[in-house]
Amino acid sequence: MQPILVVLVFATLAAFAAPLGVLPLRSRTAVPPAWLGWANALAAGFMLGAAYVIAETALVDHPVRAAAGALLGIGYTHLSHRASGVGDIDLNQLDEVDPSYGYRILFVSGLHGAMEGLAIGLAMLESLPFGILVALAMAVHNVPEAAVLGSVLRSSGLGPVRTAGLAVAANIGQVLLAIVAFAIVPAIPGLLPWAFGFAVGGLTYLAISELLPEAYDRAGPVSIALVTSVATGFVVLLRGIVR
Amino acid sequence: MSTLPAVVQVFLFGLVTALATGLGAIPFAFVRSVSPRIVAYTNALASGLMLGASFGLLAEGADYGRLATLIGANLGVLFVLAAGKLLGDHELQFGAVRGEDARKMTLIVLVMTVHSIAEGVAIGTAFAGGTTLAIVITAAIAVHNIPEGLAISAVLRPRGASIAACAGWSIVSSLPQPLLAAPAFLFVGTFSALLPYGIGFAAGAMVFMVLVELLPEAFEAGRRSTIALLVSVAMVTMVLFQQTL
């Protein structure tokens, strides 16, 4: 298979894992809060692990350009959160939600998915097997993310099919960015460390601002810290195995 | 200096790097307020610096052996869990501070001290490669210790420690550097085999301290977007600082 097709297939797989998180919500049984917390922590750990591995390649060879790229990634993510008024939004709020909350969640998921797409594309550039692992990690991580999004949208009165559709839609930008990053970044000389840095900064910022705060609220610091560090270590270890 | 035995030189160089850690307390001469919001943001600053330092350690450990580093990191996590639990069982006092704050202050000093053990071993083994680069290595490690003092002071100062106490505890946390640099220099074979475990331990302990103690407390009182900004910018700056110096 052509490398770019590998990117397409696995990034699409990651995006289409999202409706799996919507399925269990057919009955309106509530997800136990601690589980949501652990799912968030798992997602945060996967993101931090991917950020670490991408940083390992870029920062050691081109520390200044990668760090400048990282600051750009942080600044971009911070400003897009602040400017759109979602900087302090609680992503796992399940009761007393109004429809506008649902759409703001959708917007945040889109932003978040874009950064993940960039990570998948760049990880594929590192090596295809490692990229596939990152895509699978993001697929796993999209499931609980969509579960939250889904239960919010469902409770604001949306049908199951539309909810599943929106969950995919929120992640579809991921596929595009993965392919664009994979195709364009190596074609522009000198762009690589900037792009790697950008993804590292963005992923770190998102893990800290979106995933960890709610996780702590729902399951307490010790179990969250354990799940997060094990998930991070898992990605770092896999990188060692899949060269 | 050249008349001194090599092992004494290694010890003295290690001592200089430890003293440099105390410089990290200086910016906190201007922090007096103990509002929960200040604690949240200094926690975020310390978190970013510690995550950045762990990045450098993990990247270095991977050169010696990825699996050994990861095993070490797991031991570091267990260490922080156990130390946090044990400290919580006792009625602690840190200077004039008591209770939960004293527990957190003791834990940060403990974690940063333990992490210096691996750095001391790294200094000693680096010197065993030849003392010609001694000054360069010492200067690099001394400079890289300053933000570590900053991280310690960021936790101690807003909880009521004096500026002298911040500098003092920062230096204490780096004392394992001279103390372990000397034996590592003498028995380089034994120590270099243990180095990846030690590096992993240091990184694991710092990352876990951030996740289990510093960030949860920060989120209770600070805006999450500001915390994320501080953590990620401090982390990138620390990595850049350590990779280029």
The residue ranking higher by pLDDT, B51 or B117, is B51
Q: Is B30 part of a structural domain of the chain?
A: no
- Are the C-beta atoms of A147 and A204 separated by less than 8 Å? no
- Which range is most confident: A138-142, A143-147, A203-207, B53-57? A203-207
Q: How many domains does chain B have?
A: 1
pLDDT at A174: 87
Best of A54, A76, A209 to mutate (most B CBs within 10 Å, chain B): A209
The DSSP call for residue A39 is: H
Which of these, B137, B124, B142, B153, lies nearest to B18 by C-alpha position? Answer: B142
The partner residue sitting opposite B228, judged by closest CB among A208, A228, A240, is: A208
Residue of A56, A57, A89, A208 to mutate, interface with B, max B Cβ within 10 Å:
A208
- Highest-confidence segment of A52-66, A149-163, B118-132, B201-215: B201-215
d(CA B208, CA B173): 18
Q: For residue A233, give the amino acid letter.
A: G
Residue type for position B96: A
Q: Which residue has the higher pLDDT, B139 or A236?
A: A236
Q: What is the pLDDT of residues B185-223, one digit of tens each?
A: 888 778 888 888 988 888 898 899 899 888 998 898 888
Give per-residue pLDDT as tens, B141-175.
Answer: 787 788 888 889 988 888 888 889 999 999 999 99
Gap between the Cα atoms of A204 and B44, Å rounded: 13
Helix (H) or strand (E) holding A51: helix A33-61
Domain count, chain A: 1
For residue B2, pLDDT beyond 60? no
User: Which two tokens mark B126?
Assistant: 């680096």
Whether residue A205 and residue B232 make contact (CB cut-off 8 A), yes or no, is yes
* pLDDT score at A126: 84
What pLDDT is recorded for position B234?
93
Residue B224 lies in a domain: yes
Q: How far apart are CA B207 and CA B80, in angstroms?
A: 10
Please give the residue range of the domain that contains residue B128: 6-25+35-244
B110 and A CB contact within 8 Å: no
- Of A162, A184, A182, nearest to A174 by C-alpha is A182
The β-bridge partners of B94 are B97
Query: Using an 8 Å Cβ cutoff, are B25 and B167 in contact?
Result: yes
- Polymer length of chain A: 243
Distance CA A201, CA B228 (A): 10
Determine contact, residues B49/B108, Cβ cutoff 8 Å: no
Task: Tell me if chain A has a CB within 8 Å of the CB of B225.
Answer: yes
Q: Is residue B100 assigned to a domain?
A: yes
Name the percent of chain B lying above pLDDT 90: 16
SS3 B78: helix
Q: What is the pLDDT of residue A75?
A: 94
Does residue B1 have a pLDDT over 60?
no
The pLDDT assigned to A228 comes to 93
**Predicted confidence band of residue B6 (pLDDT cuts 50, 70, 90):** confident
Q: Do B237 and A56 touch (CB under 8 A)?
A: no
The pLDDT assigned to A204 comes to 94
CB contact under 8 A, A208 and B231: yes
The two three-digit tokens of residue B160, written as one number: 């009521």
Q: pTM of this prediction?
A: 0.85
What's at B237, amino acid-wise?
T
Q: Which residue has the higher pLDDT, A108 or A26?
A: A108
A60 against A183, higher pLDDT: A183
Q: Residues of A with CB below 8 A from B216's CB? A: 216, 221, 224
Give the integer Cα–Cα distance in Å for B194 and A89. 45
Residues of B (145-204) whose Cβ lies below 8 Å from A: 204
pLDDT at B119: 80
What average pLDDT score do residues A8-17 get? 88
pLDDT category of residue A26 using cuts at 50, 70 and 90: low
For chain A, say whether B141 makes contact (Cβ under 8 Å).
no
